[in-house]
């Protein structure tokens, strides 16, 4: 089992997909004082806002922020690099047979700083997903931290390559 470390400082997290699993992981952290940003496509923001409000009402030190995120689109406008300070990016089931895998990779790269940790759950369905993982490894150090072979699901931890030594 992988647990997010406890910090005395403020943690900033972002969900790059409005999947219910991600929100279940985010809620307890928001309750502990983390600054959480949940994202989804523009047409789904109302539903996301409703669900987040229902799940966190009167429980959080900082109310989770809901923001629009279309992979690869208006990233500098909606998430300026100068103000991206996410400690964690949580992603669940974002890679599947769709035409936006390159945009997803661009989005991961844009949102990550040197110390940002991506926790990513992936269900393997097609060869296209394996190719995405290979492409992802060109930009990120990737570590498999859990596997569920009977379900073709893996949990990864990733960080940008070429980080400065601490």
Residues 53 and 85 in one domain: no
> Would 32 be classed as within a structural domain?
yes
Mean of the per-residue pLDDT values for the chain? 77
Q: How confident is the model at residue 144 (pLDDT cuts 50, 70, 90)?
A: very high
> Would 56 be classed as within a structural domain?
yes
pLDDT tens-place string over residues 17-31: 544 544 555 555 555
d(CA 112, CA 160): 7
Provide, for the chain, the percentages of residues in helix, strand and coil under a 3-state DSSP scheme, each rounded to the nearest 5: 35, 25, 35
Residues 44 and 109 in one domain: no
Report the number of distinct structural domains present in the chain.
2
pLDDT tens-place string over residues 67-85: 888 889 999 998 888 888 8
Cα separation values, 67 from 11, 48, 109, 127, Å = 18, 9, 18, 31
Structural domain including 143 reads: 76-165
Residues 83 and 50 in one domain: no
Residue 7 has pLDDT above 50, yes or no: no
Residue 136 sits at the vertex; the CA angle it makes with 47 and 14, to the nearest 5 degrees, is: 30
pLDDT tens-place string over residues 25-59: 555 555 567 778 888 888 988 888 888 888 777 77
């Amino acid at each position: 089992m992988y647990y997010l470390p406890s910090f005395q400082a403020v943690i900033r997290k972002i969900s790059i997909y409005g999947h219910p699993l991600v929100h279940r992981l985010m809620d307890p952290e928001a309750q502990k004082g983390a600054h959480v940003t949940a994202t989804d496509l523009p047409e789904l923001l109302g539903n996301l806002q409703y669900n987040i409000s229902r799940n966190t009402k009167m429980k959080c030190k900082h109310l989770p922020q809901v923001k629009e995120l279309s992979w690869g689109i208006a990233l500098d406008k909606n998430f300026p690099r100068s103000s991206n300070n996410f400690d964690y990016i949580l992603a669940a089931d974002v890679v599947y047979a769709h035409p936006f895998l390159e945009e997803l990779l661009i989005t991961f790269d844009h949102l990550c700083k040197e110390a940002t940790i991506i926790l990513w759950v992936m269900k393997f369905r097609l060869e296209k997903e394996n190719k995405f993982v290979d492409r992802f490894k060109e930009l990120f150090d990737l570590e498999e931290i859990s596997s569920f072979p009977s379900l073709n699901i893996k949990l990864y931890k990733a960080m940008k390559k070429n980080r400065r030594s601490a």
